[in-house]
Structure formats: structure tokens, C-alpha cells
Structure 1
């Protein structure tokens, strides 16, 4: 069976510099097993499937798969899927776009050349336990003295985040994925605009539970923003750079408006066509 298909690059206006996403359009008749098989075949960090919503207030529904399983929520698949839905002729019922996913209803807004999602509530927050922190230190090859702070920032995928002192400290990390196996660890530090990203306030890296570094991570940046802004360690609006070590130039725009933290960036279409599934 043929389905419309797009592959997009998220958190960048320049193709090949962000985080790629495969999106299958109109996948309502596609069995779960085929969705999982296609996501495994693309071997991208996530592949999504656009479906008709079941919640009356939602504009569309999305299912998000990694090569190994389904996620309730993820950031760059949210923005990339919304971009594809709009490009396919989607029209929101109201001013803001409402995405339905396993984590619930996610608000998305359009700001000129960017899409932004409202960060979902954290499912787990608070300090990282000593036993887990010991694994994180060993996996990042750091000592306790290198850490400014650490916090759970889990909004679905299971992220915890570690705050370091400088962007150089973040960029020079060489993680031991065997030690970190099963943990999703984000690392963040203030950027020095005279040395690293001249258009960013923070440098971020995301190390997945599957043993690879994610180029640009919306869910991680959302959790980090809620933590850092909420604790006064970041201003209510800033830009994060991610993907530098991988040769990417992801830019994540964060803004807190009232009680809502918005996380956004540009999305670029790279491939348009059809896929046989």
C-alpha cells in the first residue's frame, strides 16, 4: 500500500544541519507492526505517523516510534510532524494547533519561520538519586566536583540533566555508553559567545539510552528549560545550541510566557514522495 511520505530536518533552517525525521501521512490503516517495522528500517532516532484525531479538540494525531519502540512524546517529532501536517494542507480548528499523542494534547504555535510546542508537564522531577548519579559520573567520566547540579527532567522519554560550568566542558565529553546504558542523560552549560556558538546562550548534548548521541532533542530541551528557568538559572527566553560535536547546528528557541514554556525551531523539508508499506 502506498502512503505519502516526507523526511524533514528539525531545529534548523539549513538542510542536513538539524535532526532528521521521517513522517508517513494518512497512516490510519497501517498496523502497529508495520509502523514499528518501518521505524526500525529508517533507523532514524524517530519516525512518525499522522492519523485522524480521536479527541474532538485535536487537529491531528501522531504516533512516534524509535527503531526499538513507541514513545508517548518527543520534541523534534512534534515539530516535524506538525510541519508536514501543515504542508499537506492541514488547517487548525482554532488559533493554535492541537496535536494528539500518547502523552495527551500538545499545543503548537506558529511564529514566522518557527514552530513551537508547549512543554508538557514533567512526569518526574527533583534531584537525581546517589546511585544513579554515580553511574552518570562514571559514564561521563566526570567527578562530583565537575557538576554544578543535576535534576530529573522527564516529560515522557525519561531524561535526566546535568549542569556543567562551561560549554567547553560539555563539548569535550566522551561518554561511555556501556556505563550509561538504559539512561537518557542530557548535559547543559552556559555558552560563551566569544568562543562557541555566537547565537546561543547554552550548549546542550543528549545521550540516549540506546547508546548514541542525539543531534537535537526537543523533549530534553523542554525539560531543561522548565528546570533552569524555574530555578532561576536561566532567563525566561534563550537559545540553546545542540549537535555541535556531530557537525550539526541545531538551534532551540525557548520562551516562557505566563506559566507555559514554549520550545521551538525551524523545520526544513528534505524529501517528499511516497513509500510502499
Structure 2
């Protein structure tokens, strides 16, 4: 079986400085086990498989796999998958690309050269309990005084978010991966415009306690949940840019905008590998 394969860079325009995504098109003939094995083999943070939709309004259906598990939703796989689907000349059914995934229908908007998805509803919100917070602080080697707040911001992957005082505080985190097993933690801190400029307003990092543990370069789902929390609480303006990946040599930029009742999470997508996958 020969399938269309694309690898794209999401949330960055500088070559190889965003979050890479593998996309396999026409994957309806693959089994669950084959999808999981391919995603483990690509060894990227996520690999997506595009299939025929089952919902009448959807343009396509996507399944999203990490090297270790399947996700109901993730942000950079949504933008990358929509980009690949559109690049193949597919016709949309409405004025937006409508993606079907395990989390439901996700609208993907075109904003100039960028794509943006509407942040999905969060499955879990509210303050983090003391036991979970203590685990997170130990894993990130932080003290209680280092954070301003901690909230659940779970729109599928299971994110807990810690709000730190500054961008520098976020960049200074040195995780102890042995203590982060089973946790998915985001950290966010504000830029100081006087010292750091106006290119972005917040710095974000994402720590994933799967396998040996790893830091995600640029994370759409996390930024979506953070944006919902920060905008609703008045901490962030209705339009801002988040920087992510700085600590691991990436240059991710996530463009956030409140549009009516939606919060749109946008970014650039650039193709890097074009070819076929032999199964």
C-alpha cells in the first residue's frame, strides 16, 4: 500500500524551528495497530492520519497519535492536517475547513497565509488540587512562591497550567523528568515589553511526562486552553502572540485572537518533506 506522506513545520516560518508533523493521507485502510506503529516509528510528537469523514458536515476526519498513545485533539496536528488536506486541492463544504476528530468538529479558518482553529471547549477547568500541584512543582523544581496561579486547562490532552511571574522564570525551568511521569504541564509567563520587545506577549513551555519525558516545541492545544483562561480572566488582551520553543532552540509563534464567541489559535504551516509512505 502506497499512501501520500507529508511532513510539515507548524507555528514557525524559519526553517526547522517550529513543530514538525507527519501527515498520512487516505489512511482508511490502516488498522489501529498500524497507525500506532507508524506514529511510534516517525517518533515525532504527533502523526496524523486523514480519513473519509463520518459526519455529513465534515471535510475530512483525522486521527492523532503520539509515539505512545492516541489523542482526541491536538492543535498543531489540526493546523498541519488542514494545510495538507487543502494543499491537495480538496474542496471545502462551507466557508471554513471542518475537521472531524475524536473531540468533535473543529473549524479551521484561513487568515491570509496562516490557518487558525477555533479553540474547543475545555473538558476540565478550575484550580489545581494541592496534591497535584505539589507533584507538578516537584517535577519542575519550583517553589510555591514561583507561581501566580495553577489551573486545569484540559481540552483533550490533559493539560495543567502554571502561571509564573515572568518569561525569564518560564525559561529557567529545569524539569526532573523522573518526577513528571503521567503529567502534562504547561507553564506561561508574561514578556516584559521594555526589556524583551513586542514580538510576543507571553512565553509558553509544555512538559509531557510520557516515555522518558520530553518538551513539546510548540503546542496548539495548550495555547488554546491558556488563551481561554487568560482572556476570560482579563490577564491577557483579546489579541496577542505567544512564543514557544525558545528553551529548546525553536522559534514558535502562536497567534491568538478572540473573534465573537470563539478564540482562534493561528500559525504558519510550511511543507518540509513531500513523498509517499509504503505500508
Q: Offset at 1:192?
A: 2.0
What secondary structure sits across from 1:226 in the alignment? helix
Structure 2 CA distance for aligned equivalents of residues 194 and 14 of structure 1:
25
Give the equivalent residue in structure 2 for 1:207: 207
Q: Offset at 1:196?
A: 4.0
Structure 1, residues 181-202: CA drift from partner, whole Å, max 9, x if none? 1110000010124444641000
Asked whether 1:239 is paired with 2:241, we answer yes
Tell me, which stretches of 5 or more residues in structure 2 are unaligned? none
Structure 2 CA distance for aligned equivalents of residues 196 and 59 of structure 1:
41
Aligned pairs (5 A) from 1:11-50: 11-50=11-50
2:250 equivalent among 248, 251, 260: 248
Structure 2 CA distance for aligned equivalents of residues 52 and 266 of structure 1:
25
Between the two proteins, the alignment pairs up a number of residues equal to 277
Structure 1 CA distance for aligned equivalents of residues 267 and 39 of structure 2:
24
TM-score scaled by structure 2?
0.97
Structure 1 CA distance for aligned equivalents of residues 45 and 184 of structure 2:
13
Structure 1 CA distance for aligned equivalents of residues 170 and 197 of structure 2:
13
Q: Offset at 1:57?
A: 0.3
Give the equivalent residue in structure 2 for 1:95: 95
235-244 vs 139-148, which moves further = 139-148
What secondary structure sits across from 1:120 in the alignment? coil
Give the equivalent residue in structure 1 for 2:2: 2
Tell me, which stretches of 5 or more residues in structure 1 are unaligned? none
Structure 2 CA distance for aligned equivalents of residues 86 and 209 of structure 1:
33
Asked whether 1:222 is paired with 2:193, we answer no
Indicate conservation of the 8 Å contact 1:167/1:196, yes or no.
no
TM-score scaled by structure 1?
0.98
Aligned pairs (5 A) from 1:136-155: 136-155=136-155
Indicate conservation of the 8 Å contact 1:14/1:268, yes or no.
no
Structure 2 CA distance for aligned equivalents of residues 109 and 8 of structure 1:
18
Give the equivalent residue in structure 2 for 1:180: 180
Structure 1 CA distance for aligned equivalents of residues 195 and 249 of structure 2:
16
Q: CA RMSD in A?
A: 0.9
Give the equivalent residue in structure 2 for 1:268: 270
Indicate how the Cα distance of structure 1 residues 196 and 171 shifts in structure 2: closer, same or farther if over 3 A, else same. Answer: farther
What secondary structure sits across from 1:76 in the alignment? helix
Give the equivalent residue in structure 2 for 1:105: 105
Indicate conservation of the 8 Å contact 1:119/1:222, yes or no.
yes
What secondary structure sits across from 2:12 in the alignment? coil
The runs of at least 4 aligned residues of structure 1 exceeding 3 Å deviation read: 193-198
